[in-house]
Amino acid sequence: MSRLLLRAAVALCVVTFPPAAAQAQGKACDEACLTGLANDFMDAMTRSDPRGLPWAGRVGYAENSTRVRIGESSWVTIKSRSRAPLVVADSRTGHVVWAGMIDDHGQPGFYAMDMKVKDGKIAAVQSVIRRKEGRQPFGDPLAYAPDRAFSAALPAKARLPRGKMIALVDAYFDAVEANGASAIPGFDRGCTLIENGVAMTGNLPAGKGGDASCEAALRRGLYGELEAVRHEVVAVDEAKGLVAAIGYRDLPGATLSFTAKDGKTYPAEAKYPRTVGFVSVFRIENGRIARLETIANEVPYLTAAPFNKPLPPDVVIDDTGVFPENATADAAGNLYISSFKGNIYRALPGADRAIAWIRPDGVNKLAAVLGVLVDEKTNTLWACSVPMGKAGEVSALVAFDLRSGAFRQRYEMPAPASACNDIAIAKDGTAFIAETTNGRIFTLSPGGKAVSLLVEDKALLEGVDGIAFSEDGTLYVNNVRQNTMLRVNRRADGSFASLTKLNVSQPLDGPDGLRPIGGNRFLQAEGPGGRISLLTIEGDDVTMKVLRDGMDGVPGVTHIGDTAYAIESKGRFLFDPKLKGQDPGEFALRAVPLGGIR
């Protein structure tokens, strides 16, 4: 097909769809639909004809990290593809990964792609294509077939929850980047590194009789020439124990050799700066990595992921003596920030500055403001006011009009001296308030005139701080003093039943702000720890992935779209007598990406 006809084909996508594509357009795309779309896409490539595929209105398409137009490049050259590819389809993320063999005008090669599907339509495709030209490794594509274990369902007892599967893969890439210096995940004894159909020892093809086990290269420290490993998990299949990740290995080529952990000196594989783009599929059995297959290709050094959006700027608070504490955001992209100064600041959508919006006065009686939360259903901005020991003042939950900032109502916390710390809103509109000092959780029903006690438990809740609901309505809290996370179990009528202490995958260091981001996932800030993390809660287990650390006190976090905003409070300048009076510099919310590859 000529280039002109190909362009016309892209413009004329309103034609009869193949079966999988028809299902994709008609309803949400499940695993079978995603798999069908991936195979339909590959068949369309072999025909050099993109017509008949359900394209989104705006599509990202890239080959080996270079954006190209649909219908050009490999659409013209690929003439056949594997009939038994390795596929990982994930309806929760909308991603499907396809890996196998392709043929370019009689020249076989390796091909892997990550496809993103939104509303049943293809929104993005990025592929790694490894042809014969170039550096090793390059095996025989015609003889290549993914291990049969990848297609077999796991017995229920051999499966891991999704969050733990992702954590294992994250730990693997962390260990590769650290050259085995970080915690090494568990491997099955038969796990072998396969890249482009070749068994590998570290970055080099395994010699005859060489050790190509997944664990050996890490134990020996054979990744010493790597500068960084950037990756993103895109698809998970719990039933088959599969995790698919895409990413880049950066090799600066600064040295010609390196000394491994075994004390031996090895020649560097990279003699010049370069990056290796990859798609990797892991098989996880019984809590260990059992198989690992990768398709990879060289790209220019420090190549960026093709579809990453620029990270929004940090948001600086245009004031002094602020000591921000918490943040929340509305659907329009406005940020609202509480502070020990008593002001509530607002940053308009896209702005890099936040200015004072609500100030303490004799009516709202704001003191130090800790928790803030947007409730768009009732057009309310909730705030927790705490007197911080000022005589005659009482902690209270305070309601403001979300659009105007006008004061609405004040709900005082019952004695003894309380600290309203943070707020969560249930699906029925009931507000749940974490009260730190006395280990209590209060509720405020819609239209209520006063708060009601849900539970008081000094042993488990004294120090309760962050509070949030998962998508299914389960209530969770953390404890800033005891470094714990708890599930608040409630009966069908909403009354308190019990508390369950959860198992967290990493030690906590002052857990504070807690924000839901969908499903059973949350963002959590740790003040003393200076970090924010992504939490995945499955049963009684919490899998924790640090998104950014090294900040100067982080009591709160929120997000807008795929960007988290971590509050850098610099609270040590407020509470440490040795630092009081010193200039802490600017106060800001640090923008942190929630996804993508940087």
Q: Give residue 286's pLDDT.
A: 95
Same-domain status, 283 and 341: no
Same-domain status, 419 and 489: yes
**Residue 223, in any domain of the structure:** yes
Residues of the chain with pLDDT under 50: 1-26
**Residue 144, in any domain of the structure:** no
Same-domain status, 190 and 236: yes
CA–CA separation, 513 vs 566, rounded Å? 10
**Residue 463, in any domain of the structure:** yes
CA–CA separation, 62 vs 69, rounded Å? 8
The domain of 405 spans 315-593
Tell me, what CATH number does 544's domain have? 2.120.10.30
Answer whether 5's CB lies under 8 Å from 90's CB: no
**Residue 257, in any domain of the structure:** yes
**Residue 143, in any domain of the structure:** no
Tell me, what CATH number does 294's domain have? 3.10.450.50
**Residue 304, in any domain of the structure:** no
Q: Give residue 23's pLDDT.
A: 42
**Looking at the 3D structure of the chain, how many domains does it have?**
3
Last residue of a domain, one of 249, 267, 299: 299
How distant, in Å, are the alpha carbons of 30, 38, 235, 411, 461 from that of 92?
Answer: 9, 16, 8, 40, 34
Answer whether 152's CB lies under 8 Å from 57's CB: no
Q: Give residue 149's pLDDT.
A: 87
Last residue of a domain, one of 64, 99, 133: 133
CA 141 centroid distance within chain? 34
CA–CA separation, 97 vs 342, rounded Å? 50
CA–CA separation, 557 vs 563, rounded Å? 11
Instruction: Tell me the residue type at 554.
Output: V
**Residue 598, in any domain of the structure:** no
Last residue of a domain, one of 76, 109, 133: 133
CA–CA separation, 576 vs 29, rounded Å? 54
**Residue 559, in any domain of the structure:** yes
- Contacts with 156 (C-beta within 8 Å, 6 or more apart), sequence order: none
* pLDDT tens digits, one per residue of 207-221: 766 677 899 899 999
Instruction: Tell me the residue type at 361.
Output: D
Same-domain status, 196 and 283: yes
Same-domain status, 269 and 394: no
